[in-house]
Amino acid sequence: MPPKKLTRQTAATVLQAKTAAPALETDRLFGLTGALPRLIEADVAAIRTDPNQPRTVFDETALASLAASIERHGLQQPVLVQETVEKGVYRLVAGERRLRAHQMLGRPTIAAIITKGKAEEIALIENVQRVDLDAIDLARGLTQLIDSHGYAQAEVAAVLGCSEAEVSKRLKVLDLPVDILREYRENPDAVSRSALVELAFVGDEGEVRRLWQSARTGGLTVQSVRAARASKAPGSVEPMRVLGRSINRIEKELKAIDAVSTAMQKEHRELLRDLRMRIDDLLGE
């Protein structure tokens, strides 16, 4: 059975369980383990944000949309906090967008889960699992998990629910020139995360910059980058892979046709003759 994909909730719960205190008498009375985090209603003004949190870009339009959703449907997922030495004051671990949305709405309190796990680690996991995280914040978050928290790429892959190869691809964007990364941060919606990853695998810096210019007109896509890479390297792996897959597919289809050849009609023969001519043209015969 493949490993279960971690979600924000399971990530927090796993780390919480590692450092959980023994069950209280009331927990034992009701058959609880004591490892479950506590849900509270915290004063918004008493929550201190973390200046080192993985997310560094907050889109105001998206925040307004989130605030409208919370106003209509309520908060669907509490923020994560940790207690501080000052009674009633908490440090935000994860959920800054939700906290900011409550501030926009002028709400005095917010539902929060008190966690005793490793705050930075939980915050990183919670953030890298978000689908709206831009490519650079994602890559930097993954790098922090590996460098600062000792995660192997296989463990990072489990957190994201993807392959180790995909983790390597996501990390590759940090190899792009600094000025391109800066321009991307200024308008991340202009280029998809996948297109930026593809761009990072273009070997020639001059070609990288030429392709990046097309981003200004919305022309930088995964397909356009792959096409440029293929045209610059006619002997590269990608064209050979396409040829191999296609020829194998044709061979399989020919075997299927041969198995039912007795039912072949005139129109079928004409189509096959046409295909033979096209194959002869490809072969130069």
Domain ranges, ordered by start, for the chain: 8-129, 136-232, 237-283
Q: Same CATH fold, 136-232 and 8-129?
A: no
pLDDT tens digits in sequence order for the chain, 285 residues long: 444 444 433 444 434 443 444 444 444 444 444 555 678 888 888 888 876 665 666 777 778 888 888 888 888 788 888 888 888 888 888 788 888 889 888 999 988 888 776 666 666 676 666 656 778 888 888 888 788 778 888 877 877 777 888 888 888 888 888 888 888 888 777 777 788 888 888 877 888 888 888 776 666 777 777 777 666 655 555 677 777 788 888 888 888 888 888 888 888 888 888 788 888 777 776
Query: Which pLDDT belongs to residue 280?
Result: 78
Give per-residue pLDDT as tens, 11-33: 444 344 434 444 444 444 444 44
CATH class of 136-232: mainly alpha
* Residue labelled with tokens 């506590």: 38
Catalytic residue status for 96: yes
The Cα 174–Cα 180 span in angstroms is 10
Whole-number pLDDT of residue 3: 45
Enumerate residues 6+ apart whose C-beta is below 8 A from 63. 97, 100, 101, 104
Burial of 211 (0-12, 13-18, 19+ CB in 10 A): buried
Strands 47-48 and 90-94: parallel
- Which of 110, 114, 108 is CA-nearest to residue 96? 110
First to last CA, the chain: 51
Domain 8-129: which CATH number of 3.90.1530.10, 1.20.1070.10, 3.40.50.261, 3.20.20.100: 3.90.1530.10
Which candidate in 60, 86, 96, 253 is catalytic?
Answer: 96
